[in-house]
C-alpha cells in the first residue's frame, strides 16, 4: 500500500470534511432547537462566498492582497450572511412556527430556490474565478506535498471556529439559553428566556458558520457560481444526519467522516462516484444506527 498517497487522501478528506462540518453545524443547531431542516442554509453559504468575492475583488483592484484580504472578506461575508439568516427566520419560518411541520419545510425549500435564482439574476449563472489570497507559507514546505497553505488555513480556522462555538454554547448566557430552549420552549419562556430572540440568534450563528465555510472553500477551489450552495447544503445535511441530527459534536464527526469517505472512494475507485460513496455511507449508517453516529434514540410515549 502506498502510505504517502493514503496520507495525502486523508488530509484532503479532512479539509473537505471540515467545510461540511461548518455548514452542518448550522443545520443541526436549528434542528436541535425548533426541529426544522433549514434547506436555505446552503444558499447562505453560497451568498457568503459571493460577498467575499466582491470584497476581495475590490481589494485586489485597490492594490491589496494576501491573507489579510481573506480575513476581511470573511468577516464582511459573515456579517452579510448573518443578516440573511436573521431575515430568513423572521420572514420564512417564524410565521409558520405553529403550523403543521410540512409548512415550514416547504417554506425552506421555497426560500432556497428564491435565493439561488436571486443571486443568479443579480450576478451570473456562470462560474466566476475567486482570487488566490493565501500565500505559500515557507514553514510548511515539508507538508506542501500533502496539503496546501489554503488547506492549512481551512483546518486551523475550522478548528478555532468549532472551539469558539463550544465555548459559546457551554459557558455564555446565550448558549445556556439555547440549551434551555432546546430542552423545553414552554419552560424556557416561564423562566424569562426570550425564545424568539434565542431562535434568531441560532439562525445568525449558523449563517455565520456557513459564510465562513463558503469563503474557505471558494479560496480553495478558485471558482464559485450560484449553484454551489445546493450540493454543499445537501452534503452538509447528510453530514448532520450521519453524526446525529441535533447533536453538535455529531455534526463535526459526521462532516469529517463524510469528507474522508468521499476522498478515499474517489482516490481508490473513481471520482465519478464521489456522491455515491457519500450517500451510500449515509444509508449504511442509518441502517445500522438510525439515530446517527452520536445521536441517541428517542423513546416516544404511545
Q: What is the pLDDT of residue 75?
A: 92
pLDDT of residue 116: 92
Residue 141 has pLDDT above 80, yes or no: no
- Per-residue pLDDT averaged across 146-158, rounded? 80
Q: Residue 302 — pLDDT band, cuts 50, 70, 90?
A: very low
Q: Which fold has domain 16-134+142-288?
A: ABC transporter involved in vitamin B12 uptake, BtuC (1.10.3470)
Residue 97: pLDDT band (50, 70, 90) is confident
Task: Specify the pLDDT at position 292.
Answer: 83
Contact 165, 125 (CB under 8 A): no
| pLDDT band with cut points at 50, 70 and 90 for residue 289 | confident
Q: Which residue did the predictor score with more confidence, 114 or 246?
A: 114
Average pLDDT over residues 163-186: 89
- 172 dihedral zone (left: phi>0; alpha: psi -120 to 50; beta): beta
Q: Does 109 have pLDDT greater than 80? A: yes
**pLDDT tens-digit series, residues 63-86:** 887 788 888 999 999 999 999 999
Q: pTM score, two decimals? A: 0.88
The ranges assigned to domains in the chain are 16-134+142-288
Share of the chain above pLDDT 90, in %: 26
| pLDDT tier at 51, thresholds 50, 70, 90 | very high
Amino acid at each position: 500500500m502506498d502510505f504517502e498517497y493514503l496520507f495525502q487522501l486523508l488530509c484532503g478528506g479532512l479539509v473537505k470534511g471540515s467545510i461540511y462540518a461548518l455548514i452542518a453545524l448550522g443545520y443541526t443547531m436549528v434542528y436541535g432547537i425548533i426541529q426544522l431542516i433549514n434547506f436555505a442554509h446552503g444558499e447562505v453559504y453560497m451568498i457568503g462566498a459571493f460577498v467575499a468575492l466582491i470584497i476581495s475583488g475590490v481589494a485586489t483592484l485597490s492594490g491589496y492582497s494576501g491573507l489579510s484580504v481573506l480575513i476581511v472578506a470573511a468577516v464582511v461575508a459573515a456579517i452579510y450572511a448573518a443578516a440573511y439568516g436573521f431575515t430568513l427566520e423572521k420572514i420564512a419560518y417564524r410565521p409558520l412556527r405553529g403550523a403543521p411541520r410540512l409548512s415550514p419545510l416547504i417554506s425552506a425549500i421555497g426560500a432556497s430556490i428564491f435565493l439561488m435564482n436571486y443571486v443568479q439574476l443579480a450576478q451570473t449563472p456562470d462560474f466566476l474565478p475567486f482570487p488566490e489570497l493565501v500565500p505559500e507559507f515557507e514553514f510548511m514546505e515539508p507538508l506542501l506535498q500533502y496539503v496546501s497553505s489554503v488547506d492549512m488555513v481551512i483546518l486551523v480556522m475550522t478548528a478555532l471556529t468549532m472551539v469558539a462555538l463550544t465555548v459559546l454554547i457551554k459557558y455564555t448566557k446565550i448558549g445556556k439559553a439555547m440549551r434551555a430552549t432546546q430542552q423545553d420552549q414552554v419552560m424556557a419562556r416561564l423562566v424569562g428566556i426570550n425564545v424568539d430572540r434565542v431562535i434568531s440568534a441560532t439562525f445568525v450563528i449558523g449563517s455565520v458558520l456557513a459564510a465562513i465555510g463558503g469563503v474557505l472553500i471558494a479560496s480553495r477551489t478558485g471558482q464559485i457560481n450560484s449553484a454551489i450552495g445546493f450540493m454543499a447544503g445537501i452534503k452538509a445535511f447528510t453530514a448532520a444526519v450521519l453524526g446525529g441530527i441535533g447533536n453538535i459534536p455529531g455534526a463535526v464527526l459526521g462532516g469529517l467522516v463524510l469528507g474522508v469517505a468521499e476522498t478515499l472512494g474517489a482516490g481508490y475507485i473513481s471520482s465519478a462516484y464521489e456522491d455515491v460513496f457519500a450517500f451510500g455511507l449515509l444509508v449504511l449508517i442509518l441502517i445500522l444506527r438510525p439515530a446517527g453516529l452520536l445521536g441517541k434514540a428517542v423513546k416516544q410515549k404511545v
